Amino acid sequence: MVPFKRRKLVCSAAGSHTGATGSHEGATGSHEGATGSHEGTRFPQVVLFLLERKMGASRRRFLSQLGEKKGFQVEQLLSERVTHVICENNSSEEVRTWLRSEVGGQTAAHLLDVSWFTESMKAGRPVEVLDRHKLQEQQTEEVEVFSTPSYACQRRTTLDNHNAVLTDALSLLAENAELSGEDGRGVAFRRAAAALKALPLPVTRLTQLGGVPCLGGHSLRVIKDVLESGASPEVEALRRSERFKALKVLTGIFGVGVKTAGRWIGEGILTLRQLRDSGPTLNRAQRAGLRHYDDLNRPVGRAEAAAVAAVVEAAAGSVLPGARVTLIGGFRRGKQTGHDVDFLITHPEEGREAGLMPKLVSWLDSQGFLLYQKTNSNSYLEAAEGPARPASNMDRFERCFSVFKLPEEAGRGGAGAGGEGGPRPWRAVRVDLVVSPVSQFAFALLGWTGSKLFERELRRWAGHEMNMCLSSHALYDHRQSRYLRASSEEEIFAHLGLEYIPPSERNA
């Protein structure tokens, strides 16, 4: 009679939280528990309930009697008096589910493994509840399903990459494709990596990627391998491959492209030593690249970039007062290091920038700042009928590829430069200078800030979605058959029907 009544009461109390009265009835009833023992009063603060699920009825009965013999209060039914729920072979999730389905509610009691019970029996008193006694939470974290727009120029990609393990693997495959002359495959891997870079959290399961664009079968296979075993066998094999290592070393020489490196490898040249020994004819850029190999493969830091900027500003100010120098490339996007330092130079009066580059270069040279330089002249002219083909953003500006001789100042992190006897007095740094007329400045700024993939996606968006042609010089609207002017990056995004993305969020 009493147990039956109590059972009903427990159910409703736990379910509807009207437990105050119920708990008192439970309290008075507890001493008349099934075992009928009255010894369970030594530890008034502790009320046990042993869960039969998986423990089994006979073991439960045995343990209950043991507990009472040791002076513990053991409840046969779950009530709000219960402070410790003892379970065997159950996860906390299973117990909570059981509580919900069997009792129709939850409990504030400790959910403990039987180890706490047996230790307490041994100790003859309730032992302190430690983490190892608590039931393990199952790893049922809410898995978010990600989704992100398909063009990188529609996304905000900061330097805060939550999926570096995945994007490193994909970037390596992209690099290998590019080094093997397979640009299409390279872009596919770059796009896949970029989509993951934009996600707000680390990916833990493949099923989260339902709404993520640009993930082809190959990329998904790599992602799956990395998620499941921490690494992709294909990527690890590539990392170790002699050909890949040789391509990296040889294209790491300033002035050596994919074709040249491939040819040398075909001739059995895999290392710098072999290159030096077997002596194929090198051009001027490659000779400088080989001479300064270590410096040019050592990342340039922000302080060094600032030091280069000071030199370039002094040069520009001296040969063309009023000239404006802007740091572009990765450093404008907020990167802490780069493989080079890029500058865009203009003058607020259209036309005054003409002929600036040769003067700039000869000033730098005369001051001893140049180890190497090669200048191209500006060949970009707007055609009345629009751009004949997508402008190569490569070589139509007045542009100078150079290697600077940058004095190492005390305190600027140049410790790596010196062999014996401390830092050398200077290091070699790759510097790119671009001069643009002020009328093209916004396009040049947008085009040279990067990242490379962001730029590529901007041009793809312009062409495919807007029927426009974007270059680092201009934006042409095919529908209106005219060039669209802009004096800021914001205006260009607006012409393209895109939300403005600041440089720090163009790290696709």
Choice from 68, 304, 353, 455 touching ligand UTP (CB under 6 A): 455
**In the complex, least distance from residue 228 CB atom to ligand UTP, rounded to whole angstroms:** 32
Residue 294 bears catalytic tag: no
For Mn ion, the nearest residue by Cβ is 329
Considering only residues 26, 126, 329, 414, which one is a binding residue for Mn ion as defined by CB under 5 A?
329
> Among 70-78, 338-346, 358-366, 418-426, which window interacts with ligand UTP (CB under 6 A)?
338-346
The packing angle between helices 164-179 and 258-266, to 10°, is 70
* Binding flag, residue 19, Mn ion (CB under 5 A): no
Backbone angles phi, psi at 317, to 5 degrees: -65, -30
Residues touching ligand UTP, count (CB under 6 A):
16
Q: Is 342 one of the binding residues for ligand UTP (CB under 6 A)?
A: yes
Active-site option among 225, 342, 395, 477: 342
Query: Which one is catalytic: 131, 160, 365, 432?
Result: 432
Helix (H, G, I), strand (E, B) or coil at 374: strand
User: Catalytic: 225?
Assistant: no
Selection from Mn ion, ligand UTP, none that 26 binds (CB < 5 to 8 A by kind) is none
Do the annotations mark residue 131 as ligand-binding?
no
26 near ligand UTP, judged by CB under 6 A? no
Task: Output the CA angle 454-308-171, nearest 5 degrees.
Answer: 30
Cα 178 from Cα 238, distance rounded (Å)? 14
CB of 394 to ligand UTP, least distance (A): 4
Task: Using the rule CB under 5 A, give the single segment among 9-17, 186-194, 321-329, 394-402 that binds Mn ion.
Answer: 321-329
- Asked if residue 1 binds ligand UTP (CB under 6 A), the reply is no
Q: Which of residues 375-414 bind ligand UTP (CB under 6 A)?
A: 393-394
335 binds, among Mn ion, ligand UTP, none (CB under 5 to 8 A by kind): ligand UTP
Residue 29 binds ligand UTP, judged by CB under 6 A: no
Window 433-452: residues binding ligand UTP (CB under 6 A): 447-448, 450-452
Q: 242, 244, 250: which is closest to 293 by C-alpha?
A: 250
225 is in an annotated binding site: no
Contacted entry of ligand UTP, Mn ion, none for residue 452, CB cut-off 5 to 8 Å set by kind: ligand UTP
Long-range contacts of 223-231 (CB under 8 A, 24+ apart): 223/166, 223/169, 223/170, 223/196, 226/165, 226/166, 226/169, 227/166, 227/203, 230/165, 231/169
Tokens 């990596």: give the residue. 193
Strands of 341-346's sheet in order across? 324-328, 341-346, 426-435, 398-407, 370-376
Q: Establish if 342 lies at the interface with Mn ion (CB under 5 A).
A: yes
Contact 192, 215 (CB under 8 A): yes
Q: The tokens of 324 are what? A: 């404006």
| β-bridge partners, 85 | 49, 111
Which of ligand UTP, Mn ion, none sits in contact with 75, Cβ below 5 to 8 A by type? none
340 is in an annotated binding site: yes
Q: What's the rounded Cα separation, in Å, for the pair 464 and 497? A: 13
Give the residue ranges of DSSP H helices in 128-278: 164-179, 183-197, 217-229, 233-240, 242-251, 258-266, 272-278
CB atoms within 10 A of CB 17: 12
**Whole-angstrom distance, CA of residue 385 vs CA of residue 259:** 35
Query: Minimum distance from CB of 447 to ligand UTP (Å)?
Result: 5
For residue 432, indicate whether it is catalytic: yes
Residues making contact with Mn ion (CB under 5 A): 329-330, 338, 340, 342
Which residues sit in the known binding site?
340, 342, 432
Residues designated catalytic:
340, 342, 432
Which residues sit in the known binding site for Mg(2+)?
340, 342, 432
Residues making contact with ligand UTP (CB under 6 A): 329-330, 335, 338-340, 342, 393-394, 447-448, 450-452, 455, 472
